[in-house]
Protein backbone atom coordinates (compact mmCIF):
# COMPACT_ATOMS: atom_id res chain seq x y z
CA UNK A 1 0.00 0.00 0.00
CA UNK A 2 1.53 3.38 -0.96
CA UNK A 3 2.32 5.82 1.81
CA UNK A 4 -0.17 8.69 2.03
CA UNK A 5 1.20 12.18 1.43
CA UNK A 6 -1.10 13.39 4.23
CA UNK A 7 0.12 13.62 7.84
CA UNK A 8 -0.50 15.28 11.18
CA UNK A 9 1.78 18.30 11.53
CA UNK A 10 0.92 19.38 15.05
CA UNK A 11 -1.47 19.11 17.96
CA UNK A 12 -2.57 22.28 19.73
CA UNK A 13 -3.34 22.58 23.43
CA UNK A 14 -4.61 25.60 25.32
CA UNK A 15 -2.30 26.73 28.13
CA UNK A 16 -2.91 29.14 31.00
CA UNK A 17 0.67 30.49 31.15
CA UNK A 18 2.46 30.45 27.81
CA UNK A 19 5.92 31.19 29.26
CA UNK A 20 5.58 28.47 31.93
CA UNK A 21 4.39 25.86 29.42
CA UNK A 22 7.09 26.79 26.90
CA UNK A 23 9.69 26.39 29.67
CA UNK A 24 8.26 22.99 30.65
CA UNK A 25 8.16 21.55 27.13
CA UNK A 26 11.61 22.87 26.22
CA UNK A 27 13.66 22.67 29.41
CA UNK A 28 12.00 19.70 31.13
CA UNK A 29 10.97 17.57 28.13
CA UNK A 30 13.83 18.68 25.85
CA UNK A 31 11.78 19.95 22.91
CA UNK A 32 12.87 22.97 20.86
CA UNK A 33 10.89 26.13 20.29
CA UNK A 34 10.51 26.23 16.49
CA UNK A 35 8.00 29.02 15.83
CA UNK A 36 5.89 31.68 17.50
CA UNK A 37 2.72 33.35 16.28
CA UNK A 38 1.01 36.45 17.62
CA UNK A 39 -2.53 36.53 16.29
CA UNK A 40 -5.30 39.01 17.07
CA UNK A 41 -6.94 36.58 19.47
CA UNK A 42 -4.14 34.24 20.64
CA UNK A 43 -0.42 33.78 21.07
CA UNK A 44 1.15 30.47 20.04
CA UNK A 45 4.51 28.81 20.60
CA UNK A 46 5.30 25.73 18.51
CA UNK A 47 7.62 23.19 20.14
CA UNK A 48 8.94 19.95 18.66
CA UNK A 49 11.67 17.37 18.64
CA UNK A 50 13.62 17.77 15.41
CA UNK A 51 11.77 16.25 12.48
CA UNK A 52 8.80 15.13 14.61
CA UNK A 53 5.18 16.16 15.07
CA UNK A 54 4.90 19.47 16.91
CA UNK A 55 2.86 20.62 19.89
CA UNK A 56 1.32 24.08 19.56
CA UNK A 57 0.98 25.82 22.92
CA UNK A 58 -1.96 28.21 22.55
CA UNK A 59 -2.89 31.03 24.89
CA UNK A 60 -6.00 33.03 24.04
CA UNK A 61 -5.61 36.80 24.47
CA UNK A 62 -9.10 37.86 23.36
CA UNK A 63 -10.50 38.03 26.91
CA UNK A 64 -12.73 34.97 26.41
CA UNK A 65 -13.17 32.52 29.28
CA UNK A 66 -11.13 29.37 28.67
CA UNK A 67 -10.75 26.23 30.74
CA UNK A 68 -7.08 25.33 30.56
CA UNK A 69 -6.90 23.06 33.60
CA UNK A 70 -7.21 19.27 33.82
CA UNK A 71 -8.77 18.70 30.40
CA UNK A 72 -8.92 15.03 29.34
CA UNK A 73 -5.94 15.24 26.99
CA UNK A 74 -2.95 12.90 26.77
CA UNK A 75 0.27 13.61 24.90
CA UNK A 76 2.42 10.53 24.28
CA UNK A 77 6.19 10.96 24.13
CA UNK A 78 8.74 8.32 23.15
CA UNK A 79 11.85 9.07 25.19
CA UNK A 80 15.17 7.27 25.58
CA UNK A 81 15.06 7.44 29.38
CA UNK A 82 11.54 7.66 30.87
CA UNK A 83 12.94 7.59 34.44
CA UNK A 84 15.21 10.61 33.82
CA UNK A 85 12.36 12.58 32.22
CA UNK A 86 10.04 11.61 35.08
CA UNK A 87 12.67 12.80 37.56
CA UNK A 88 12.93 16.17 35.77
CA UNK A 89 9.14 16.56 35.84
CA UNK A 90 9.11 15.74 39.56
CA UNK A 91 11.99 18.18 40.20
CA UNK A 92 9.94 20.85 38.43
CA UNK A 93 7.26 20.39 41.10
CA UNK A 94 4.75 18.61 38.90
CA UNK A 95 2.76 15.45 39.51
CA UNK A 96 3.91 11.95 38.61
CA UNK A 97 0.84 9.75 38.20
CA UNK A 98 2.78 6.53 37.52
CA UNK A 99 6.51 6.05 37.89
CA UNK A 100 8.02 4.58 34.71
CA UNK A 101 7.98 0.79 34.91
CA UNK A 102 7.46 -2.17 32.59
CA UNK A 103 3.87 -3.18 31.83
CA UNK A 104 3.50 -6.90 31.17
CA UNK A 105 0.31 -6.53 29.10
CA UNK A 106 2.24 -4.19 26.76
CA UNK A 107 5.06 -6.65 26.17
CA UNK A 108 7.19 -5.20 28.95
CA UNK A 109 7.19 -1.68 27.52
CA UNK A 110 8.34 0.92 30.06
CA UNK A 111 5.56 3.45 30.62
CA UNK A 112 5.25 6.40 32.98
CA UNK A 113 2.54 9.04 33.42
CA UNK A 114 2.85 12.64 34.62
CA UNK A 115 1.04 15.98 34.47
CA UNK A 116 2.14 19.14 32.66
CA UNK A 117 1.62 22.63 34.19
CA UNK A 118 -2.05 22.68 33.11
CA UNK A 119 -2.81 19.12 34.20
CA UNK A 120 -2.60 17.50 30.77
CA UNK A 121 -1.44 13.89 30.98
CA UNK A 122 2.07 13.28 29.69
CA UNK A 123 2.74 9.62 28.82
CA UNK A 124 6.40 8.64 28.73
CA UNK A 125 7.16 5.53 26.68
CA UNK A 126 10.57 3.92 26.36
CA UNK A 127 11.70 4.70 22.81
CA UNK A 128 12.81 1.66 20.82
CA UNK A 129 16.53 1.65 19.99
CA UNK A 130 17.50 3.10 16.61
CA UNK A 131 17.13 0.51 13.83
CA UNK A 132 20.86 0.25 13.24
CA UNK A 133 21.47 -0.47 16.96
CA UNK A 134 18.62 -3.01 17.10
CA UNK A 135 19.84 -4.70 13.92
CA UNK A 136 23.43 -4.82 15.27
CA UNK A 137 22.22 -6.42 18.50
CA UNK A 138 20.19 -9.02 16.59
CA UNK A 139 23.11 -9.78 14.25
CA UNK A 140 25.58 -10.21 17.12
CA UNK A 141 23.12 -12.38 19.05
CA UNK A 142 22.81 -14.71 16.07
CA UNK A 143 26.57 -14.95 15.49
Task: Please write the tens of the pLDDT for every residue from 20-60.
Answer: 999 999 999 999 999 999 999 999 999 999 989 999 999 99
Highest-pLDDT range among 6-10, 17-21, 128-132: 17-21
The yes or no reply on domain 1-63 and CATH 3.30.420.130 is no
From CA 127, how far away is CA 61, in angstroms rounded?
A: 37
Judge contact between 75 and 120, C-beta under 8 A.
yes
Domain boundaries, the chain: 1-63, 72-143
Q: Can you give the pLDDT at residue 114?
A: 98
Stronger pLDDT, 6 or 114, i.e. the higher one: 114
pTM above 0.95, yes or no: no
Instruction: Please give the class, per CATH, of domain 72-143.
Output: alpha beta
Question: Can you tell me the mean pLDDT for 109-132?
Answer: 91
Tell me if residue 93 falls in helix, strand or coil.
coil
pLDDT band at 1 (very low <50, low <70, confident <90, very high): confident
Amino acid sequence: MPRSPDYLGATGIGVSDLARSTDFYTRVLGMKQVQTFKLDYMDEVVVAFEGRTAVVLMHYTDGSERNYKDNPIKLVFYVTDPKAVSDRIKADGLTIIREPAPIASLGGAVVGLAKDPDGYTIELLQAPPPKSEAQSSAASAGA
